[in-house]
Structure 1
Amino acid sequence: MKTTKKLFILTLALTLSAGFYSCKKKGCTDEAATNYDSKAKKDDGSCVYPDPIPEEKEVEVTANITTSTTWVKTKKYILKGFIFVTSGTTLTIEPGTIIVGDKASKGTLIIDRGAKLMAVGTASEPIVFTSNQPKGQRDYGDWGGIIICGKGPVNLPGGEGVVEGGTGATFGGGASPDVADNSGKLKYVRIEFSGIPFQPNQEINGLTMGGLGSGTELDYIQVSYCGDDSYEWFGGTVNAKHLISFRAWDDNFDGDNGWNGKVQFAVALTDPNVADQSGSNGFEQDNDASGTGATPITNSIFSNVSIFGPKQTSGTTINSQYKRAAHLRRNTKTCIYNSLLAGYPTGLLIDGSACETNSDNDELQFRNNIVSGCATPLAVASGSSWDISAWFNTPAYANSVEADNANLLVPNAWNLTNPNFIPSGGSPLLSGASFAASNLQSTFFEQVSYKGAFGSSNWTSSWTNWDPQNTEY
């Protein structure tokens, strides 16, 4: 009897337990779900989760970059105001990344001395700095540009200076400059619609280089629609290859304050209707603003440059502010070799007695070049009696003049929407280059047979943009 009673009690307990368990509420027990049920004791697989928050595709950059940072191609970066990459910091930019400068705040990227910009794109994925305005509404000077400051030698008092344009950025290595200073690397980079002239002689250029050392690398860069100079070097020893200046407002290649760098393979193509009130030139090279003997003397060296100025034919109407294909002045010792200067009112201007003396002393050199399609191929300063023709035509210098640009056999070079700079067979550009000058013995220079920036290979293909106005970024 006792055994039967115990079995009954055990059976009853199990039955009640099972019933209790079966009555536990089922539902979503995950607090991360939108239908989470705090009273549910058993999850029934019904949880519903919110859509993931979309990753931010645009990043406003409003503060200085003080820790090393990488910008990625899956995001667009908007520069608001003056953005400094501070000393000791590296900004790395992935191939294919788009950076836009804010128009209202004059967005500008400034690399301080001791900082680095590592902007290394590829031919298929260039890095693009451009306007934040919609396509069809972009214009010269929509944003500031890129300013890179280094610790290289400059000929300003104390060995340093403040960059033009109101940023307050300081460049130069002072009393102990570093000729090999490294401010980073730019390769396959486009800079579009930049360049703000705050006031005369106080402008932000497309790419401003202040005291950059030879450890800095610049290669395959296109500056387009710049509101001032496409490229300006203030001192330093940095070298560059494969530079494009497209439709610049002012000068294409401007150097001063003791720049002692080298450039090979560069091309400029201008818009005949757009020029600066100060006078627009292909090359503009000075020692300093006053033409003093301050050292180091500007001794920039160019080889294989093609300057396609505004005047394709004698009948082309151009802006009256276009001046010279090369303006060498203020005691510079710039040297130009194996290059083409075409389509300006004046070809080569040797300006001032100091530059005349430098030329006579063989410190300013101009050799194996073609001056073409210029109403005045050669000129000196008003009042000068120096015989530039005798100097230019020295047989050993192997310079020549072409009266008509048609003789160059590069008719599509002046096409502003789809230029082709490759010379046709029989062009005088395809032969006659020389690298015998001591300035060209550096391993930096590739010894080619052609004059100008192009032989048979088009190094502008695939990574450039000749119509950024209508590109959707």
Structure 2
Amino acid sequence: MKRFPKLLLLAMLATATSTTLSSCEDNNDNAPTTQEPSGPTDNAGRVILLGDITANRTLRANEKYLLQGFVRVKDGVTLTIEPGTKIFGDAATKGALVVERGGMLMAQGTQTNPIVFTSAKAPGSRSFGDWGGVVLVGRAPINQSLNTEMEGGIGTGFGGTNATDNSGVLKYVRIEFAGVPLSTKDNSEINGLTLYGVGSGTTLDYIQVSYSGDDSYEWFGGTVNAKHLVAHRGWDDDFDTDYGYTGKIQYALSLRDPQYADQSGSNGFESDNFNPGTPATGDNAGLPLTAPVFSNVSIFVTAGAPPVGTQSGSGAYQSAMHLRRNTSTSVFNSVFVGHPEGLRLDGTSTWANVQANTMQMAGVTLANNNTPLRAAGNTSSGAFTDADVQTWFNGTGKNNAVVTQANLGTLGLNANNFNLTAPNFLLSSSSPLLTGAVFTGKAADGFFDKVTYRGAFNGSDNWLQGWTNFDPQNTDY
């Protein structure tokens, strides 16, 4: 065999290697590229989002972003956010993302790569209300004037006549440490996720709001539906519905920290038509009535004594469900544990909706409450009593139940159900909540999956897996 001299062989190999590498570089579409930031950056290298977004824009997962002040997506403009993107809210300017009527937010993460809106503060120093929150504004029906001012000075005018209006997609999205008061006026806050007149063309699915400084979710009118919502360690109410909201929600969870509640009295559900609720005389004048339908909701405060006051918050817990001011909210197949009150039906107009069967409740378990069922807000005309509420709640075929603290163990909740940073909500195999769901009346609607179980979870399907975070305080983003 003819042998090449060693130096010649090395030279030939080097030439061949160089040629091969050159060929790969010319044709490798995945080769690393240097990309300039898509805008001005702060001292942490985050691209600053400021003012109005007036042309279609995409936020990329390989960048981080900082919301300064109100960042508004204008009418006719689409803001797209890639899976895995991190958006931080600035505390000093109370940064918030506001998608105005006619704007679109396409925030579609994945189970393994969710989109995260969070505090700009360092791990360990984050808190309730570090920034504003996410606000969607649509053209669906509301029961107030279409020129009504939005809370917190966000702007004037929301809602319309398009029940199927589309404000975009929020799917596999987390919103953390938002919900901030914007002035000293009452009702002048942004919530974790605020929805003004948002239509049913909008997709809301797999969303977690954690450590909101006000409500975790609030709907002001509109028709948007939702599935798989999580409210974690909020300050005020978990799910607040007002101004004629008529959408449907299935699979919703709240896990509360018993040490934190609001001065107004924190509730799982708070529902109003408006204040004072009547008269309701026509479209945009009290009608449509607030009439959402919830199914498969689990709201947990504590397995211990219900907290009548809080050590670290500004107020106390009140009701698992505070339904008032002519609301017509309906609730099915849901479990509420640990509020001082279970169901508070408030006001004779609300009681009239019960009597008219426009408010429906079945498959509901109220557990570990000091006062499970209460009548409130009576007037001399149409007065009703605690006993009246009990008779209605316990009606034949409804499968509603009241469970005392002493009997809480009979529900078969998970041993880690109330673990604030590493919870597990899957039911034990012997839990009576695995069966007994009721899908009659308003719950017969095709939107609802006709599952057998009550509450947000069965014994095997953990829909929280992969995308939620129950310890965002210590997450390094």
TM-score of the superposition, structure 1-length normalised? 0.86
The answer for the alignment partner of 1:150 in structure 2 is: 138
Question: Which protein is bigger by CA-based radius of gyration?
Answer: 1
The answer for the alignment partner of 1:302 in structure 2 is: 294
Task: Verify: 1:377 aligned to 2:372, yes or no.
Answer: yes
Shift of 1:440: 2.0
The answer for the alignment partner of 1:235 in structure 2 is: 221
The answer for the alignment partner of 1:36 in structure 2 is: none
Q: d(CA) in 2 for partners of 1:54 and 1:356?
A: 61
Q: Deviations over 1:21-66 (max 9, x none)?
A: xxxxxxxxxxxxxxxxxxxxxxxxxxxxxxx977445201123100
The answer for the alignment partner of 2:394 in structure 1 is: 393
- Residue 357 to residue 316, structure 1, CA distance change in 2 (3 Å): closer
Shift of 1:313: 1.7
Q: Deviations over 1:320-377 (max 9, x none)?
A: 6100000000000100000011110000000010111111111111111101011110
Q: d(CA) in 2 for partners of 1:131 and 1:314?
A: 32
Task: Verify: 1:314 aligned to 2:331, yes or no.
Answer: no
- Residue 447 to residue 178, structure 1, CA distance change in 2 (3 Å): same
The answer for the alignment partner of 1:432 in structure 2 is: 436
Q: d(CA) in 2 for partners of 1:400 and 1:250?
A: 26
Partner SS, residue 389 of structure 1 = helix
- Checking the alignment, whether the CA contact within 8 Å between 1:149 and 1:169 is kept in structure 2 is no
Q: d(CA) in 2 for partners of 1:406 and 1:275?
A: 25
Q: d(CA) in 2 for partners of 1:375 and 1:219?
A: 34
The answer for the alignment partner of 2:148 in structure 1 is: 161
- Checking the alignment, whether the CA contact within 8 Å between 2:306 and 2:369 is kept in structure 1 is no
Task: Verify: 1:115 aligned to 2:103, yes or no.
Answer: yes
- Residue 317 to residue 381, structure 1, CA distance change in 2 (3 Å): closer
Counterpart among 249, 257, 273 of residue 287 in structure 1: 273
| Range that drifts further, 192-201 or 226-235 | 192-201
The answer for the alignment partner of 2:25 in structure 1 is: none
Alignment of 1:162-311 (within 5 A): 162-173=149-160, 177-198=161-182, 199=184, 200-292=186-278, 293=280, 294-309=286-301, 311=302
Shift of 1:317: 7.8
Equivalent position amino acid for 2:355 in 1: D
- Checking the alignment, whether the CA contact within 8 Å between 1:120 and 1:186 is kept in structure 2 is yes
Partner SS, residue 141 of structure 2 = coil
The answer for the alignment partner of 2:116 in structure 1 is: 128
Shift of 1:460: 0.5
Q: Deviations over 1:402-444 (max 9, x none)?
A: 112322221321110101111112212111001122x123221
Q: d(CA) in 1 for partners of 2:411 and 2:75?
A: 48
Q: d(CA) in 1 for partners of 2:200 and 2:34?
A: 46
Equivalent position amino acid for 1:425 in 2: S
Partner SS, residue 188 of structure 1 = strand
Equivalent position amino acid for 1:314 in 2: A
Counterpart among 318, 322, 326 of residue 327 in structure 1: 322
- Residue 264 to residue 345, structure 1, CA distance change in 2 (3 Å): same
Q: d(CA) in 2 for partners of 1:210 and 1:361?
A: 28
The answer for the alignment partner of 1:45 in structure 2 is: none
Equivalent position amino acid for 2:290 in 1: T
Q: d(CA) in 1 for partners of 2:134 and 2:448?
A: 26
The answer for the alignment partner of 1:449 in structure 2 is: 452
Q: d(CA) in 1 for partners of 2:393 and 2:132?
A: 39
| Range that drifts further, 374-383 or 140-149 | 374-383
Shift of 1:382: 5.4
Shift of 1:127: 0.1
Q: d(CA) in 2 for partners of 1:442 and 1:148?
A: 25
Partner SS, residue 391 of structure 2 = helix
Q: d(CA) in 2 for partners of 1:112 and 1:283?
A: 26
The answer for the alignment partner of 2:71 in structure 1 is: 83
Counterpart among 461, 467, 473 of residue 471 in structure 2: 467
Equivalent position amino acid for 1:148 in 2: L
Partner SS, residue 62 of structure 1 = strand
- Residue 165 to residue 349, structure 1, CA distance change in 2 (3 Å): same
Q: d(CA) in 2 for partners of 1:53 and 1:432?
A: 58
Shift of 1:163: 1.6
Partner SS, residue 106 of structure 2 = strand
CA RMSD of aligned residues (A): 1.5
The answer for the alignment partner of 2:17 in structure 1 is: none
Shift of 1:192: 0.2
Equivalent position amino acid for 1:459 in 2: W
Q: d(CA) in 1 for partners of 2:35 and 2:75?
A: 34
- Checking the alignment, whether the CA contact within 8 Å between 2:66 and 2:87 is kept in structure 1 is yes
- Residue 126 to residue 381, structure 1, CA distance change in 2 (3 Å): same
- Checking the alignment, whether the CA contact within 8 Å between 1:85 and 1:111 is kept in structure 2 is yes
- Checking the alignment, whether the CA contact within 8 Å between 1:112 and 1:170 is kept in structure 2 is no
Q: d(CA) in 2 for partners of 1:167 and 1:154?
A: 17
Shift of 1:167: 1.7
Equivalent position amino acid for 1:416 in 2: L
- Checking the alignment, whether the CA contact within 8 Å between 1:154 and 1:160 is kept in structure 2 is no
Q: d(CA) in 2 for partners of 1:160 and 1:179?
A: 18
- Checking the alignment, whether the CA contact within 8 Å between 1:161 and 1:172 is kept in structure 2 is no
Shift of 1:271: 0.6
Partner SS, residue 349 of structure 1 = strand
